């Protein structure tokens, strides 16, 4: 580690991971399920996108992975861990890439994150279940990932703007 974490940074991590976990849980509570597995909003991604912009890539990655691990330990099983992790890692990689090339706004980053999260989970399911047929869900999941991504991008964008303004005071 380059330098010691300050108390503020530790508090920030704790706050954001807790927030991401609460959002996952809220989403889990909303009885929103379609016939296709994997269609979801991904509320916790708001926190990851926010952290990516405001804190940095390492912080965002740590928050994303820790959230998945902690949620799985509490509510999931080993299989859920594989699905969640593959989605989270691919999603993070794509969002980081889109952010780095600096050609997309937070909405574009959100779309990339949402879509690649679903692709990651499908790839994982293909490997785990040993079937290619699951790719039939891909069109639905691409579109749902896009819609969710736009929503996440818009919300994260508002947050990035507001929280920044707050700090400048």
Q: Between residues 5 and 161, which has the closer beta carbon with respect to another protein? A: 161
Query: Which candidate, 67, 74, 84, 59, places its Cα nearest to that of 9?
Result: 59
| Distance (Å, whole) CA 48 – CA 54 | 10
- CB within 8 Å of 7: residues ≥ 6 apart: none
Of 112 and 120, nearer to another protein (C-beta) is: 112
Contact between 154 and another protein per CB under 8 A: no
**What single DSSP character describes residue 106?**
H
Q: Is 56 an interacting residue with respect to another protein (CB under 8 A)? A: no
User: Residue 37 or residue 59: which is nearer to another protein going by CB?
Assistant: 37
Place of tokens 């928050």: 63
Site for another protein in 12-41 (CB under 8 A): 33-37
Question: Is the Cβ–Cβ distance between 118 and 142 less than 8 Å?
Answer: yes
Q: What are phi and psi of 32, to 5 degrees?
A: -115, 100
| x/- track of binding to another protein for residues 70-89 (CB under 8 A) | ---------x---x------
Q: Residue 48 CB, nearest distance to another protein (Å)?
A: 18
- Positions in the binding site for another protein (CB under 8 A): 33-37, 79, 83, 103-105, 107-108, 111-112, 115, 125, 128-131, 133-136, 138-140, 142-143, 145-146, 150, 153
């Amino acid at each position: 580690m380059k330098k010691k974490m300050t108390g503020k940074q530790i508090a920030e991590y704790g706050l954001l991971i807790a927030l991401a976990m609460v959002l996952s849980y809220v989403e889990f509570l909303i009885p929103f399920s379609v016939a296709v597995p994997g269609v979801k909003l991904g509320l916790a991604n708001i926190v990851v996108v926010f952290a990516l912009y405001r804190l940095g890539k390492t912080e965002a990655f740590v928050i994303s992975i820790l959230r998945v691990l902690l949620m799985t330990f509490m509510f999931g099983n080993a299989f859920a861990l594989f699905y969640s992790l593959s989605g989270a890692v691919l999603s993070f990689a794509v969002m980081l890439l889109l952010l780095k090339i600096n050609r997309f706004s937070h909405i574009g980053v959100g779309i990339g994150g949402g879509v690649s999260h679903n692709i990651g989970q499908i790839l994982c399911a293909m490997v785990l279940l040993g079937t290619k047929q699951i790719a039939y869900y891909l069109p639905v999941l691409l579109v749902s990932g896009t819609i969710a991504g736009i929503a996440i991008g818009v919300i994260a964008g508002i947050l990035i703007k507001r929280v920044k303004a707050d700090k400048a005071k």
